[in-house]
């Protein structure tokens, strides 16, 4: 099924795990793929950068009969992100799909987290996503204005269930993933008139990033691992394809043969003042009874809605 024949895709963080599976799926669907990976061995973004992870995925795609080229730069660097977009245009003459996947982890409780642990995770996840969206959006806008019509543009961003239900030891990661949702919905509104769709996925998969998260959930001896990245890749292929033309500004949770479309936050209760402005006493009378019968640890989006049985990091 070559629904992406003639299309060019960029996948960031594609040397391992989810990004690798997504790059292989897009290639299987016919896309020419620019495989980006900085190649650092540590999931915390440490260690010497290496070309090997991206090059290996390129080799896999080519061996299967597809087209691919590697990029070994840091997408959180503004100019290197610009260069990644330019490689796609110089190599294949077009760019149609962006899958943002690159990220690192530096876990720590909020009361112990260092400034660098905060800044580095925000930089790779959130700034990395922004950098790439910024340059592909500018390219597609320019093309649309030149043609006087619309273009084919698909952006798939990677968020996490951590932004919904929280993750106690990952305030930096949860904040970055929440920021990616804001970037996604804002960009979806800004780019829709050019024919571009922007969506976000919240994947749950067994990768180098999540090896300790799913430590108690061993892969089955037989059959497909429900936490395999291969469960996520087809959704990315769909969102990158022509059938998803009307899917825009959406957040989708995906894992183990399940896709859940998240709704926008809704008002759970409303309180109006009986005067011109609220007083402390009036708020106490209204809000204290409302929260008195509720679990103080209940979040605004209860994780059990999605059937979560364990940590939501992903």
* Distance in angstroms (rounded) separating the CA atoms of residues 35 and 52: 11
Indicate the Cα dihedral angle 45, 48, 54, 60, nearest 10°: -110
Q: How many residues does the chain have?
A: 314
Q: What does the angle CA 36 – CA 116 – CA 43 come to, to the nearest 5 degrees?
A: 40
Give per-residue burial for 254-284: e unless 16+ CB within 10 Å, then b: bbeeeeeebeeeeeeeeeeeeeeeeeeeeee
- Phi, psi at residue 11, to the nearest 5°? -125, 120
Concerning whether 160 is annotated as a catalytic residue, the answer is yes
**Known catalytic residue at 275:** no
Sheet holding 97-99, edge to edge: 68-71, 32-36, 8-11, 97-99, 153-158, 196-203, 251-255, 258-261
- 258 phi and psi, to 5 degrees? -130, 135
* Active-site option among 120, 127, 159, 177: 177
Q: Please state the φ and ψ torsions of residue 8, each to the nearest 5 degrees.
A: -120, 135
Would you state the structure tokens that stand for residue 275, as one six-digit string?
Answer: 């005067």
Angle (deg, nearest 10), helices 171-191 and 115-122: 30
**Nearest partner of 20 among 260, 236, 251, judged by Cα:** 236
Angle separating helix axes 233-240 and 17-28, nearest 10 degrees? 50
Catalytic residue among 120, 127, 167, 173: 173
Residue 126 DSSP symbol = I
Exactly one of 92, 120, 127, 160 is catalytic; which is it? 160
The SS3 of residue 109 is coil
* Residue 167 annotated to the active site: no
Which residues are the active-site residues? Answer: 160, 173, 177
């Amino acid at each position: 099924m070559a629904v992406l024949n003639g299309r060019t895709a960029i996948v960031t963080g594609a040397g391992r795990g989810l990004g690798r599976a997504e790059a292989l799926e897009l290639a299987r669907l016919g896309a020419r793929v620019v495989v980006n990976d900085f190649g650092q061995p540590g999931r915390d973004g440490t260690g010497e950068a290496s070309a090997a992870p991206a090059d290996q995925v390129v080799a896999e795609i080519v061996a299967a009969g597809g087209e691919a080229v590697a990029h070994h730069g840091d997408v959180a660097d503004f100019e290197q992100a610009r260069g990644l977009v330019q490689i796609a245009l110089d190599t294949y003459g077009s760019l149609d799909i962006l899958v943002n996947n690159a990220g690192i982890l530096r876990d720590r409780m909020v009361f112990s987290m260092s400034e660098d642990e905060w800044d580095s995770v925000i930089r790779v996840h959130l700034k990395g996503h922004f950098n790439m969206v910024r340059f592909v959006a500018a390219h597609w806008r320019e093309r649309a204005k030149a043609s006087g019509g619309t273009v084919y543009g698909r952006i798939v961003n990677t968020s996490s269930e951590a932004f919904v239900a929280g993750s106690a030891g990952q305030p930096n990661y949860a904040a970055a993933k929440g920021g990616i949702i804001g970037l996604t919905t804002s960009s979806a509104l800004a780019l829709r008139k050019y024919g571009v769709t922007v969506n976000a996925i919240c994947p749950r998969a067994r990768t180098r990033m999540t090896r300790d998260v799913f430590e108690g959930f061993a892969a089955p001896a037989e059959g497909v691992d429900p936490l395999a990245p291969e469960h996520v890749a087809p959704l990315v292929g769909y969102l990158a394809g022509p059938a998803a033309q009307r899917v825009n500004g959406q957040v989708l949770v995906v894992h183990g043969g399940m896709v859940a479309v998240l709704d926008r936050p809704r008002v759970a209760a409303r309180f109006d003042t009986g005067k011109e402005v609220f007083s402390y006493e009036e708020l106490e009378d209204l809000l204290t009874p409302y929260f008195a019968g509720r679990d103080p640890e209940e979040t605004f989006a209860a994780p059990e809605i999605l059937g979560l049985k364990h940590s939501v990091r992903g």
